[in-house]
Amino acid sequence: MPQPPRILGAQDYLQQSLDRGLPVAVVIGGPDSGKQLLLRRFLQDQEVSHAAHLTAPTRDSHAFLERVLEQLGFEPFQSSTEELQKLLGVFACHEAAQGRRTVIVLEDAQDFGPYVLDTVRALVLQSPQEPASLCFVLTGSPNLHRILDSAGLSELQELTRSRYSLDEPDAAPEVDADDSVLRPALEITLQGKIMDRLVIDQPRVMIGRHSQNDLVLDSLFISRHHALLVGRADGIYAVDLRSTNGTFVNGNGVQRYALKDGDVLQIGHYRLRYCEPLGARLPTRADEEDDHADTGVLGPQAIAS
């Protein structure tokens, strides 16, 4: 089922926070904004080594740390709050040295109480390395804004300045009725035969073999959600969604690539020639999705062909 744009945008925000190694990400939304759906998708899709997801708020720092450590695989034991905090910090730093991130999710963070949030502050500040060894994801109601901006959490304010609101309306792209000739397009070929031409008239174009993609390419060598075309202010980018067989532009494997007129994307055995007419008006909104299980694997010869 396609996800609402704000959910996809929030996933993009959380992914960027992880990619940049930020210690805190904040998502704000009302009761029906989709926060639980967002977290479920985020935790399913992310390749994080360790994650603790706290759904029942506590106002006690000791209980908070015990619950986090238990979800990270530690057996319950008698220790002081300071010892538990140190253990969590040492564990996260050790894992970070091995290239593994530790993510801690606080659902309805505004209900956890000042002592727990102060513990979050202390854990963030005791791990100054970049990227951060611990990544906290805080979700909550609009009241969380006031709590994070309070004087007691002043040391966290710079780190929580970037927040994503699920309640803000999405701006619909303005598209004239007969402006397809002014839009970029993809010319789709298979084994030298032109199969279709897709006008890019929306902010994001999901490509893959699943029927819910914007451009469906029917092949077991293509991931269910394989690649994404993203409209930015400076142009259109091709983004590989951690696909099994990769995304290629002009024969070179890419993760993210700014497309130019005449570039040829190769996805599986399909070739997609990017055509950008003079004066093209580009969409400017982007989201990313990742789902590539059950995908066949192309051999080196097939990829090179």
Q: What is the pLDDT of residue 289?
A: 40
Stretch 197-207: mean pLDDT, rounded? Answer: 86
Judge whether 76 and 70 are in contact, CB under 8 Å: yes
**Would you mind telling me the total number of residues written for the chain in this entry?**
305
Q: Among residues 49, 46, 100, which one has the least CA distance to residue 290?
A: 46
Q: What is the pLDDT of residue 124?
A: 83
- Whole-model pTM? 0.54
Q: Of the ranges 183-187, 189-193, 223-227, 230-234, which one carries the lowest mean pLDDT score? A: 230-234
Q: What is the pLDDT of residue 253?
A: 94
pLDDT digits (tens, 9 = 90+) for 117-141: 889 988 887 765 556 788 899 999 9
Stretch 246-273: mean pLDDT, rounded? Answer: 93
pLDDT digits (tens, 9 = 90+) for 146-175: 888 887 777 777 778 778 888 765 433 333
Stretch 218-231: mean pLDDT, rounded? Answer: 91
Stretch 87-107: mean pLDDT, rounded? Answer: 87
CA angle 278, 279, 282 (to 5 degrees): 115
277 vs 16: CA distance, rounded Å: 31
Q: What is the pLDDT of residue 296?
A: 63
Q: What is the pLDDT of residue 21?
A: 78
Q: What is the pLDDT of residue 1?
A: 41
Q: How confident is the model at residue 287 (pLDDT cuts 50, 70, 90)?
A: very low
Own/partner contacts of 168-177, CB < 8 Å, gap of 24 or more, are 168/6, 170/5, 170/6, 170/9, 170/285, 171/285, 173/202, 173/203, 173/283, 173/284, 173/285, 175/201
The DSSP secondary-structure symbol of 175 reads -
Q: What is the pLDDT of residue 131?
A: 65
CA-CA distances (angstroms) from residue 101 to 20, 46, 63, 64, 69? Answer: 12, 11, 23, 20, 15
Pairing of strands 256-258, 235-240: antiparallel
Q: Among residues 166, 184, 180, which one has the least CA distance to residue 232?
A: 184
- Is the predicted pLDDT of residue 51 greater than 80, yes or no? yes
Q: What is the pLDDT of residue 183?
A: 75
Task: Please state at what angle helix 5-19 crosses helix 35-45, rounded to 10 degrees.
Answer: 50
